[in-house]
């Protein structure tokens, strides 16, 4: 593998790790927010879902996008490795 391709693969790997960290942080934030709502005494489904829905959907979208982009970057990495051989 040429130096240029090796550098590209390493950069893509670092970006993929960062994306997985973003997905993990979004998931942890969603769980923490849910716990905070319960600690505040919000147990009524109507009140809880109204407060939780925007945070849940936002964190879910962030996590799914981060993971999908990571998989696309992995496919790009495989393509770079195959083309350099």
- Give the domain range for residue 17: 3-84
Given a cut of 90, whether residue 85 has pLDDT beyond it is no
1-31 pLDDT, tens digit per residue, is 688 889 999 999 999 999 999 999 999 999 9
Report pTM: 0.84
Tokens at 67, concatenated? 């993971």
Instruction: List the Cα angle 66/70/72 in 5-degree steps.
Output: 120
Task: Please tell me the predicted confidence (pLDDT) of residue 84.
Answer: 80
24-78 pLDDT, tens digit per residue, is 999 999 999 999 999 999 988 889 889 899 999 999 999 999 999 999 999 999 9
* Whether 8 contacts 80, CB under 8 Å: yes
Question: How many structural domains comprise the chain?
Answer: 1
């Amino acid at each position: 593998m040429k130096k240029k391709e090796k550098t590209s693969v390493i950069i893509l790997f670092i970006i993929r790790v960062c994306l997985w960290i973003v997905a993990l942080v979004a998931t942890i934030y969603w769980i923490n927010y849910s716990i905070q709502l319960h600690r505040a005494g919000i147990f009524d489904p109507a009140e809880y879902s109204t407060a939780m829905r925007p945070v849940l959907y936002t964190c879910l979208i962030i996590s799914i996008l981060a993971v999908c982009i990571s998989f696309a970057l992995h496919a790009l990495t495989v393509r770079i490795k195959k083309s350099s051989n």
